[in-house]
Amino acid sequence: MEVENQRSPLLILFLVVLIDMIGFTLVIPFLTYFVQDLAEADGFIDMGSRDWWVGIVLASYTLGQFLFTPILGSLSDRIGRRPIVMFGLLCNTIFFISFGLASTLWMAIAVRFLAGAGNGNIAVTRAYIGDISTREQLPARMGIIGASFGLGFMIGPFVGGILTDPSNTFGGPFATDWWEAHPYFLPCLTAGLLSAISFVFAIRMLPESLPKEKRSHNDGEIAGFKVVLRNLVGVRDLSPNVRRLIFVNASFLLAFTMMHTTFILFTALPIENGGLGYDERMNGYIFAFVGLVGVIVQGGLIRPLSKHFDVRKLMVVGIVITAFGLGWIPYLEPEPLVVVLLAMTFIAAGNGLFQPTQSTLITTETKFNNLDLGRVMGAQEGYGALSRIIGPILAAFIWAATVDGTGLFSYHTVFRIAGLIAVFGVLIQWGIVQSQD
C-alpha cells in the first residue's frame, strides 16, 4: 500500500512514535537506581564499582542497536519501512516487561541488549519521512516527528517517576511483598503495554511509504556483522557532506549520552557530597521539563526558524548551546530550582535544534547524491549507536575514577569532557559549511 494522502500517515506515525517514546522514556527516572540496587545485590558495594554498571547496562542497549540497526535499515530498503517499524514495537513490548523482572545484573544486560537489537525505529522512521517528503517539506516534517520524541520524553519520565515503587507510593493492591520486592516493575509493565498499543496503531493504520518499484533489489546476503562492517567502512564511499554529517551526529550523541549516563548519578548524590539529593520522582520531573522544551523547539519553533535562518547555522547553534549546558551541570545547586531548569533548557533546546536540522541536511544530501536513504540512515544510526556504546562506558569509567576526587579531577570532569566533545562537532560541521557554500 503506497502513501497517497500524506497527512494521515504523518499523524499515525506521530502517534506511533509518541507512544513508543513514552514507553521508552518511562525507564529514565529509575534505571540508574535499579542498576545500583542490582549491583549492590551482586556484591558491588563501593560507589565507583557500583556506578560503573550503570554505564554497562546503558551501553548494552546501544550495542544491540549498533549490531542490528544497519541490518534493519538495509532490510527496510528491501521489504519496506512498515514491517521493520512493527518489529521494533513488538520487541519493545516483550523486553520492557522483561527488564522489570530482572533479578541480576546479567539478566538486565541481556534484556537491554535484545531490546536494542530489535528496535531500529529511529532510523526507519526518518527514512519513512524522507520517502514521502520534498526538500521543502523536510525541516517541518522532521520537526513534527522530533516533537513526538520530545512530547514522549516529557510524558514518559513524569509517569515513570510516579509509578516507581507503587508499594510505598500507592499502597492498596500494591501493598504486598511481591510489589515491594519489585519496585520498578510497574513502570516497565506500563512501557510494554504502551508499545503494544503502538503496535496495534501501526499494524492497522500505518501504510507503507516505500513503493515496490523503489525498493532495493540487491539479493546479496544480509548477514549480521558483515552488514555492520559494510555500513561503517562503506561510509567512505558516501559523499563528503553525508559522511561529515554522520560524524557530526556521532560526536553530538557521544557527548549527550555521557551526560545521560551520569546526570542522575550526579543528581542522586547527597547534597553534602556536592550532588542535588534528588529521588526518582524529582528526576522524572526534570526530564519531563526537558521533554517540554523539546516539544516547544521542535514542534513550534523549528519551522519558522528554518524559514528565516540557514539550516546548517541552526545546527551549529544547537551544538554550541548544548555544550554550554553540559559543562554547566556539575556547578548546579539544589536551590534555586529555576537555575537547574535553565541549564537543562540549554541542553534540551540545543538538542531540539540539532536533531531536525541534522536529519534534514543528511536526507537532502542523500537524495541529491542518489543514495539509498535506508542505507545512509542505517549507517548513521550505526555510528550513532557506536557513540551510545562508548558514551556510557566512557562516562561511567570517568565518573568511577573521579567521583571521590577533588580539584581538576572530580565529579565535574565527566561533564566538562562531554561539553568539549560536543564542541568538537562544530569543527566537523565547519567543513560542511565550506563545501556547501
Please report the pLDDT score of residue 359 as a whole number. 84
pLDDT band at 295 (very low <50, low <70, confident <90, very high): confident
Please report the pLDDT score of residue 225 as a whole number. 56
Q: Would the CA dihedral through 210, 68, 145, 204 be positive or negative?
A: positive
pLDDT band at 437 (very low <50, low <70, confident <90, very high): very low
Query: What cell does 206 get?
Result: 500505518
Q: Which of 108-112, 117-121, 288-292 has the lowest mean pLDDT?
A: 117-121
Please check the confidence at residue 2 and state whether its pLDDT lies above 50. no
pLDDT band at 131 (very low <50, low <70, confident <90, very high): confident
Domain limits for position 429: 7-208+225-436
Please check the confidence at residue 88 and state whether its pLDDT lies above 90. no
User: If DSSP codes are grouped into helix, strand and coil, which group holds residue 183?
Assistant: coil
Please check the confidence at residue 304 and state whether its pLDDT lies above 80. yes
Please report the pLDDT score of residue 411 as a whole number. 80
Angle of helix 311-328 relative to helix 240-268, nearest 10 degrees, comes to: 20
When pLDDT is averaged across residues 273-296 and rounded to a whole number, the result is 86
Residue 214 lies in a domain: no
Please report the pLDDT score of residue 434 as a whole number. 46
Burial of 160 (0-12, 13-18, 19+ CB in 10 A): buried
Residue 216 lies in a domain: no
Residue 311 lies in a domain: yes
Residue 188 lies in a domain: yes
Residue 301: which residues within 8 A CB-CB, separation 6 or more? 352
pLDDT band at 251 (very low <50, low <70, confident <90, very high): very high
Average pLDDT over the chain reads 82
Please check whether residue 333 is in contact with residue 379, taking contact to mean a CB–CB distance below 8 angstroms: no
Closest listed residue to residue 358, CA positions, set 121, 72, 142, 151: 142
CA distances in angstroms from 430 to 309, 324, 417, listed in the order given = 17, 19, 21
Which residue is listed with cell 537506581?
33
Question: Into how many domains does the chain fold?
Answer: 1
The residue type found at 345 is T
pLDDT band at 228 (very low <50, low <70, confident <90, very high): low
Please check the confidence at residue 92 and state whether its pLDDT lies above 80. yes
∠ CA 153-145-436, rounded to 5°: 115
pTM of the model: 0.76
Q: What is the number of alpha carbons within 13 Å of residue 369 lying toward its C-beta?
A: 18
Share of the chain above pLDDT 70, in %: 90
Quickly list H helices, 101-216.
Answer: 105-118, 121-132, 138-163, 166-169, 177-181, 185-205
Between 320 and 241, name the one with better pLDDT: 320
Please check whether residue 369 is in contact with residue 239, taking contact to mean a CB–CB distance below 8 angstroms: yes
Between 43 and 229, name the one with better pLDDT: 43
Residue 136: which residues within 8 A CB-CB, separation 6 or more? none
Please report the pLDDT score of residue 227 as a whole number. 64
Dihedral angle of Cα 383, 385, 113, 13, to the nearest 10 degrees: -110
Please report the pLDDT score of residue 5 as a whole number. 53
Residue 115 lies in a domain: yes
Please report the pLDDT score of residue 218 as a whole number. 59
In tens, the pLDDT along 8-39 reads 677 777 777 777 778 777 888 888 889 888 98
Please report the pLDDT score of residue 226 as a whole number. 66
CA distances in angstroms from 408 to 259, 263, 411, 413, listed in the order given = 18, 19, 9, 7
In tens, the pLDDT along 387-432 reads 888 998 999 889 888 877 776 677 888 999 999 999 888 888 776 6
Q: What is the CATH number of the domain that holds 149?
A: 1.20.1250.20
Between 7 and 162, name the one with better pLDDT: 162
Q: Which of 173-187, 250-264, 295-309 has the lowest mean pLDDT?
A: 295-309
Please report the pLDDT score of residue 1 as a whole number. 43
Residue 215 lies in a domain: no
Q: Which of 8-12, 194-198, 319-323 has the lowest mean pLDDT?
A: 8-12
Residue 220 lies in a domain: no
Please report the pLDDT score of residue 236 as a whole number. 74
Residue 322 lies in a domain: yes
Please report the pLDDT score of residue 97 as a whole number. 93
In tens, the pLDDT along 339-386 reads 999 999 999 999 989 988 888 888 888 877 777 776 787 788 778 878
Residue 105: which residues within 8 A CB-CB, separation 6 or more? 35, 38, 39, 42, 53, 56, 57
When pLDDT is averaged across residues 163-179 and rounded to a whole number, the result is 90
